[in-house]
Structure formats: structure tokens, C-alpha cells
Amino acid sequence: MPSYKLIYFNAKGMGEPIRWIFAAANTEYEDCRLEPKDWAAEKPKMPYGQLPVLEVDGKQLAQSKAICRYLAKELNLMGSNPWEEAKGDMIVDYVEDMRSPIIRIFHEKDEERRKLQTQLFKEQQLPTFLKNLERDLTDNKDGEGYFIGDKMTWTDILFVTTISVIKLFAEKYNMEFSLEKFPKLSALVERVESSEAIAAWIAKRPETAM
């Protein structure tokens, strides 16, 4: 078994999906959490001056989706055939599109423009993303399981952790958010979060603001 070390900030963010993958696969790793004061010294050591970074037997891999995809392949959290893998990748990329407006809103300096962008996200963009994802989930076994195949994969993990980010965003900007209109997606979130390995990780993980 390789030696794994995840380097990220002491936060959930883009490191949390990777931690969930390790948890789901019951795989040990070093969870290296940097504080802001340590980042300036560590940044030059990272491949692109960014986090997260995964070290595998000392070799470094950057970019969160590349890390997740690599680990999913290594730890048996991919689809069972090339078509399922491609469908899983497709959904992950779409989930990333769903998350992108949040990043733009977070970095927007103009308060009025931020309000307009938040309203657009709430009323138009997010409902469209969720409607399409509900359809994708329903297409696989009528939505009673996971996005692809018969088992939880990294695709489900990426979706559920992104929903967690959206919930935090909604709290920060006083935006109402619920999956009530998307019962299949809501059930998937519950299914993943209540799985034994993920639930155990959620119960023991460090408390962080983000």
C-alpha cells in the first residue's frame, strides 16, 4: 500500500472530497493541515503554488479533481466500465460548473454586483443545475441508488461535498437553499452522509469554519 499524505489548509474546501474518498475506502493517510501563517513558507514547495496537494510515496500530485480521480481509480471508487467512468466524469465536471458561480460571487468586490449575481445563482442557475442532476440520478435505477452503477463512487462524493459548500454559501449570504424540490438528490445526500465510513469521518473530523 502506498504512503499517502494530503496537504491542505485547516478547512474543508477542496480538501474535503479527498478526505471523504479516503474515508469511504477505509484507507489511512496523513492529513496535513496548514495554518495561514505557514502558507508563505510552504507555497514554493507545491507544484503550482496551490493546494490541495497529494503526496504518494513522496511524489506530488496537484489539482483537486486530478487527485480525486487518481484516488478513485486506486481505491475502487470509479465506475465498473469505461462508459460508467465517462458518465461519472461528465457529472463531476457539471457539478464543478455548478460550484463555479459561488467562487465568482465570493471574490466579487462590488456589493450590488454580488447581490445580483447571488440572485441569478439562486433563481436561475442553481435550479437548472439541480434539475439536470436530478434527471441524471433518476436515469440510473430510477434514482434509488447512486449516479452510476450499483455502488457509491467519487462522483457521488463530489456532488455531496459540493452541496455542503452551497449550504455554507447560502448561510453566509442569507440565501434560502433546500433540496426539497429534488427528492432523489436529497435522498442521495442522506445516503452518502449516513454511510458508515463517511458518517464516522464526519463525526470525528476537526471542527472548522469552512
pLDDT tens, residue by residue, 43-52: 999 999 999 9
Confidence band for 173, pLDDT divided at 50, 70 and 90: confident
User: What residues contact residue 55 under an 8 Å CB cut-off, 6+ apart?
Assistant: 3, 4, 5, 6, 7, 61
Q: Of 134, 139, 67, nearest to 94 (Cα)? A: 134
Residues 105 and 156 in one domain: yes
pLDDT of amino acid 75: 98
93 located within any domain: yes
Q: Across residues 162-178, what is the average pLDDT?
A: 91
Q: How far apart are CA 142 and CA 144, in angstroms?
A: 6
Q: How far apart are CA 65 and CA 72, in angstroms?
A: 10
Provide the CATH number for the domain around residue 117.
1.20.1050.10
Residues 88 and 136 in one domain: yes
Confidence band for 165, pLDDT divided at 50, 70 and 90: very high
Q: Across residues 193-197, what is the average pLDDT?
A: 97
pLDDT of amino acid 174: 86
Q: Are strands 53-56 and 59-62 parallel, antiparallel or unpaired?
A: antiparallel
pLDDT of amino acid 23: 98
Neighbours of 188 (CB within 10 A): 25
Residues 72 and 93 in one domain: no
pLDDT of amino acid 199: 98
Residues 92 and 188 in one domain: yes
106 pLDDT more than 90: no
pLDDT tens, residue by residue, 117-164: 999 999 999 999 999 999 999 999 999 999 999 999 999 999 999 999
Domains held by the chain: number = 2
Picking from 48, 76, 104, the residue at the C-terminal end of a domain is: 76
Q: Which domain holds residue 34?
A: 4-76
Percent of the chain past pLDDT 70, that is, above it, reads 100
CA 166 to the chain's CA centroid = 11
Lowest mean per-residue pLDDT among 138-147, 167-176, 190-199:
167-176
CA 46 to the chain's CA centroid = 21
Q: How far apart are CA 59 and CA 2, in angstroms?
A: 11
What is the secondary structure of 77-140 as a DSSP string? -S-SSHHHHHHHHHHHHHHHHHHHHHHHHHH---HHHHHHHHHHIIIIIHHHHHHHHHHHHHHT
Q: Across residues 95-112, what is the average pLDDT?
A: 93
